[in-house]
Structure 1
């Protein structure tokens, strides 16, 4: 069972040529494995490995190609470290199953099970999480990667996201996943405009109050660039994701204060420092 009582850092390991911020940097298996161990030393306790970019406008990647990208990395990490938590970032039931068999022990599904519906109408990836007895992250997303930023619209983004995630969590439990193995993610930047992201971040406590561990993924995202590039002549953050680290850390501090338990980030050292300080302040 999932047992997270203090905030944790999940290090992002994109084994892809086209991810929005670090595409291509860890595309080679040996480089990816090395980066995983670097992030562990920097303070990450979870490594999230993905073989498909989910940035706005991204094309889908076949299950076989995802497997070819992520499995050698998972196996390489496991050969050297038996204990680190490895999460596979995929919406594919096939990818998730092969990854778990290779040594992954979490599923991170940005579609909350919606992309793995079988002929009988059930979500295969939810049943897989139940059968394999592994935690699963269920994320809110409006639309798919190719079109999700075309025209996102909400009447009340916080109420709608919370309602959706509560429903998906209940469906996962009906599929056999214990409540204690479900993590929820509001999906910052996935089918959401700046004002939607800000509203969700300002109201994280309402999501925490649903009673599930919350994962927050804001790392280097576009909305941070929109903020830091507005009105001050500084366009670097708007154009260059690597200039958004301090902005990401600000959201990590807010998340800790709100009760978020998992922070999915590229920049482990900086966010771990922000997390540790915020946690000490919160508990002082």
Structure 2
């Protein structure tokens, strides 16, 4: 499966998450060991994932765990090499550090998933361009509004300060969609200057990163506005806090320590995937591939109704 510019006849691809960290917000430590990560990779692929996203550092709210670059490289490269020995599945490296990205690409990764949108490490765009790799450029509201109440619970992203004090002050006043536009304009300019081909770029709305509940919902409601920029969308909403908040407000069990609470989180996340797939989002990044694949198949069938066979359905027994 090739991730390419929007094609109305292409189903949404599923990217399965493998966090090789001891502190990820939803599966921390579970796939830290190489053998466990490899086992999970096989499971995700068998359930329908065509991309695997490998991450060696947690970015969950409240995280204070800082991974040294060499340690992060060791974590992800070992897993990537193990997966690559037995599969040609597309592999995404989830990192904002150019040295980690370069090592992962050398080990067999195909995509760099940069949550700082090429803004956290000035060398990242050049690493991606040199490798001819694909890149996910994420809108990072935490970087654009570091003093916003929704940003303060996140760790610092990037080396140094990316924006000037005046820019940060201007960003604070912007409606969220204008802020996203300004961020992407800067990031895409950096990508162009480095020589990254447009067809190798995907955009991520940054759902769950320093956004209010309303802002998350607005960005998801207006997905087509982002599509109008002419780039594929890479969307990560799986088990995000705002989804859980909606469930909790409406009386659903959300405690992950209970079987129902854990299931509800994935079911609700899959509903968002269904909405995204109906709108032609190219890639969804998820934890539970099986439930999201079901959502993709149903939503894609509706979106691609004109291509369906005009069959008479048999009566149920």
TM-score normalised by structure 1 residue count: 0.91
Whose radius of gyration is greater, 1 or 2? 2
1-structure distance, mates of 2:278, 2:182? 22
CA drift at 1:142: 2.0
What is the correspondence of 1:153-232 to structure 2 with a 5 Å cutoff? 155-232=174-251
Residue equivalent to 1:262:
283
4+ residue runs of structure 1 moved beyond 6 angstroms? none
Residue equivalent to 2:302:
281
CA drift at 1:235: 4.7
Say which is worse superposed, 157-166 or 45-54, in terms of deviation.
157-166
Partners of 1:18 and 1:53 within 8 A in 2: yes
Which runs of 5 or more structure 1 residues have no equivalent in the other structure?
A: 117-122
CA drift at 1:258: 2.1
2-structure distance, mates of 1:43, 1:51? 23
Say if 2:123 is the partner of 1:124: yes
Say which is worse superposed, 198-207 or 231-240, in terms of deviation.
231-240
2-structure distance, mates of 1:149, 1:13? 30
Root-mean-square deviation (Å): 2.1
2-structure distance, mates of 1:149, 1:35? 36
2-structure distance, mates of 1:180, 1:115? 22
- C-alpha distance 115-245 of structure 1, shift in aligned 2 (>3 A): same
1-structure distance, mates of 2:286, 2:252? 27
What is the correspondence of 1:142-153 to structure 2 with a 5 Å cutoff? 142-143=141-142, 150-152=149-151
1-structure distance, mates of 2:147, 2:47? 33
CA drift at 1:36: 0.6
CA drift at 1:185: 0.2
Residue equivalent to 1:119:
none
Partners of 2:119 and 2:187 within 8 A in 1: no
- C-alpha distance 259-71 of structure 1, shift in aligned 2 (>3 A): same
